[in-house]
Structure 1
Amino acid sequence: MFREKTRFVLEIEEQPEALRRVVKYYRAEGVEVLGRAASLCRCKDGGRIVFTGMGTSLYAATLVYSLLADSGAALPIVIEAGELLHHCSKGIEPEDVVVAISQSGESFETVKIAEKLRGHKLLAITNILESPLAQRTSLSLPILAGTEESISSKSYTNKLAVLLLLANEIFGKKRNMVIEGLLRCAESMEEFLEGRRDEIREAAEFLREANFLYFISRGPSMAAAQQAALTWMEGVHMPTAAMPGASFRHGPYELLRPGFHAICYAPDSQAGFLVEKMTEEMAGFGARVVIFSGRRVKSDNGLFVIELEPGDDYLLPLTAAIPQELLLAQMAKDRGWTAGVFERGSKVTRHQ
């Protein structure tokens, strides 16, 4: 698949180990800090949890948005750090808890909003506990992804893991069930790396003619769709759009015809059923659709299915991470790019 492995591919292959490392930490020495973070996030007097970050760090929070809302919390807020910094910071109340997420802990807007909200309840989720962000918050949860120089991979899945652990801890749900699910994801990642790479080559060939990609899902799996849309622009140099399936029906549906290409995420849930139903309609209009599926869906004319387990709403984004990243790397290679080599920007954005 790759005669000479790029830095991005090498970091993709480190994800199972990185995921197991963060699970090991939070089932032992990290229990205490996780408990303190959960206690901080149990907002009182009508307070809300406000998740903020940039790019991958922002999209990761989408995973637990509905989990927190369905558990009886005040509806959480997920807002880009730049928008919060310049336009919405006055809306943060003393009762609110701001969860600032950044792999490096150096992203300009995220660090600046932590400075601006000094005195409020601030929690950092970061890879670097000595970072400027961690120094500006009262408490930090490490993601323990290790060194990452390329497009977000290990840090993305480890953020998802920490957010799942935190969300479940807030409401006193069984930590062991989350840990078992995360370990199953690590096993699934390894199995894909060891025996299913041919599917990626086939999927890349299936999408060879694409010059624009839509990424579509619903619910928690929107974290995967948003992450993929961002990283495809970054690594494949291809324009993309990510949106929920319902939004796609409200206008973009008219684009369906031969030459339309999409990647969809269908978890094993009612949300996944609705996504699956839409992909069949899309293929019926001549579109080509790759589906990362937690459901039993058959590949057919216009549909290329990559089945994944575990495939429920909250774990599909983790099990889909390595397949989508390998597909990104392959599509970049096929177009003459090396995914993860930054030509205009850099891994960490330190200015606005």
Structure 2
Amino acid sequence: MRFPDGITAQPDTLARSAKTVTDALPDLPPPAPRDVTALVGIGASEHAARSAAPVWRHQGLRAYAVSASELLTGDSGHADVYVALSESGRSAETVAAMTHVTGATRIGVTNEPQSPLAELVEHVLPLDSGPDSPVYTTGYTATLQALGLLGDAWSGHAGDWSALPDQAATVLAAAEPVVAAVHDAFETARSIDVIGSGAAWASAGEGALMLRESARVLTATHETYNYLHGPMEPLEGQTACLVVGDGREVRLARDTSALGCPTLLITTQHDVPAQANLTVLTLPQTPSPLALAVLQILPIQLMGWAMAETRGLAVDGFRHHQDDIKLS
């Protein structure tokens, strides 16, 4: 699937995937009240894991996120349940990490039920997200939604996710003119800082990764509060800032724009006026921070495609391919 087609396919994909995931949830054994759950992934899947972990903890689950690369040496045994994320089911590091897990329940969240990951774990949560683009679109947002639905089911805090596909379509439409308005400033920037915290940390991490993959632009990911402790020191007009969130991020966006940095704030706050160098995209409220993370990544995907088109990039694969990160 082409990158722009993957972007526009997400509302329909989310609706289909939600039904499949919801139907499969009763077959997954929930963790016991004192069990510790590890969310494991690499790349985009790791960003999804790091977004889900604080949401799950807020819901009362004992959960943390860990990169699959940290488990390659066999250093497991710290969790009772491992939820391994891989859209393709072929991420070499994630599969290898699960081979080292013993004495714990392993659940694979994947779009490929016949994949190496699915064949290795005890239980599979199928995404049914269909074809994906080389730079992940449908698989990434379907994974976030699946983690939200799974956390709701396990914690007993189920929310109504039925509006998310229509909200995604609305956000995609609303984001197009906003992206067009800031495109030139971001295109000519020397680098782009992408900043967020909490569940939006995934949007910052995946946003920076996706912009690098699609438009081959220099980006950096920062957690909001860490950013205030020194990393923002080099800021000047040639650095663009993409700030995601509703709390300290609002003031930060005002500050970066006042420094002359082209700034796009993605927030649910409705009372943040635009100002010189500051453009605001307001998102709708959602039943879960993970549903909001789905919406947050959509305008960043559109930005990636707009910049890629300007640079004459088809976004149809990777020029620096690594032959040891995906299993056959």
With the length of structure 2 as denominator, give the TM-score of the two structures. 0.92
CA distance in 2, matches of 1:259, 1:17: 38
> In structure 2, do the counterparts of structure 1 residues 151 and 49 end up closer, same or farther at CA, with 3 Å as the change threshold?
same
SS of equivalent residue, structure 1 residue 105: coil
| 8 Å Cα contact 1:185/1:310 also seen in 2 | no
Correspondence for 1:34 among 22, 25, 28: 25
| Corresponding residue for residue 3 of structure 1 | none
| Corresponding residue for residue 112 of structure 2 | 128
SS of equivalent residue, structure 1 residue 251: coil
Residue range with higher mean Cα deviation, 339-348 or 301-310: 339-348
Per-residue deviation, residues 38-79 of structure 1 (Å, max 9, x unmatched): x333354xx3111111111111112221222223333x2211
With the length of structure 1 as denominator, give the TM-score of the two structures. 0.86
CA distance in 2, matches of 1:334, 1:228: 18
Unaligned 5+ segments in structure 1 are 1-5, 267-271
Correspondence for 1:55 among 43, 51, 58: 43
| Corresponding residue for residue 90 of structure 1 | 75
> In structure 2, do the counterparts of structure 1 residues 246 and 196 end up closer, same or farther at CA, with 3 Å as the change threshold?
closer
- 1:230-241 equivalences under 5 Å are 230-241=209-220
Give the share of equivalent positions with the same residue, in percent: 23
SS of equivalent residue, structure 2 residue 314: coil
CA distance in 2, matches of 1:347, 1:7: 22
> In structure 2, do the counterparts of structure 1 residues 346 and 186 end up closer, same or farther at CA, with 3 Å as the change threshold?
farther
| Corresponding residue for residue 187 of structure 1 | 166
> In structure 2, do the counterparts of structure 1 residues 26 and 53 end up closer, same or farther at CA, with 3 Å as the change threshold?
closer
| 8 Å Cα contact 1:52/1:58 also seen in 2 | yes
| Corresponding residue for residue 336 of structure 1 | 312
Following superposition, the deviation at residue 249 of structure 1 comes to: 0.8
> In structure 2, do the counterparts of structure 1 residues 164 and 261 end up closer, same or farther at CA, with 3 Å as the change threshold?
same
Size of the alignment, in residue pairs? 325
CA distance in 2, matches of 1:117, 1:110: 11
Residue range with higher mean Cα deviation, 97-106 or 200-209: 200-209
Correspondence for 2:131 among 127, 140, 147: 147
CA distance in 2, matches of 1:347, 1:190: 36
Following superposition, the deviation at residue 204 of structure 1 comes to: 1.2
CA distance in 2, matches of 1:348, 1:101: 18
Following superposition, the deviation at residue 340 of structure 1 comes to: 3.8
CA distance in 1, matches of 2:200, 2:15: 21
SS of equivalent residue, structure 2 residue 284: coil
Per-residue deviation, residues 235-273 of structure 1 (Å, max 9, x unmatched): 11122111211000111121222222111112xxxxx13
> In structure 2, do the counterparts of structure 1 residues 337 and 247 end up closer, same or farther at CA, with 3 Å as the change threshold?
same
CA distance in 2, matches of 1:284, 1:347: 45
- 1:105-124 equivalences under 5 Å are 105-124=89-108
Following superposition, the deviation at residue 292 of structure 1 comes to: 1.3
> In structure 2, do the counterparts of structure 1 residues 285 and 15 end up closer, same or farther at CA, with 3 Å as the change threshold?
same
CA distance in 2, matches of 1:278, 1:165: 31
Correspondence for 1:243 among 201, 216, 222: 222
Query: One-letter code of the match for 1:289?
Result: T
Following superposition, the deviation at residue 275 of structure 1 comes to: 0.5
Task: Kindly indicate whether residue 279 of structure 2 is the aligned counterpart of residue 304 of structure 1.
Answer: yes
> In structure 2, do the counterparts of structure 1 residues 347 and 328 end up closer, same or farther at CA, with 3 Å as the change threshold?
farther
Query: One-letter code of the match for 1:92?
Result: G
| Corresponding residue for residue 247 of structure 2 | 273
Task: Kindly indicate whether residue 4 of structure 2 is the aligned counterpart of residue 9 of structure 1.
Answer: yes
Per-residue deviation, residues 269-302 of structure 1 (Å, max 9, x unmatched): xxx1311011111112111111112112222111
Residue range with higher mean Cα deviation, 317-326 or 245-254: 317-326
Unaligned 5+ segments in structure 2 are none
Following superposition, the deviation at residue 320 of structure 1 comes to: 2.3
| 8 Å Cα contact 2:54/2:64 also seen in 1 | no
| Corresponding residue for residue 190 of structure 2 | 211
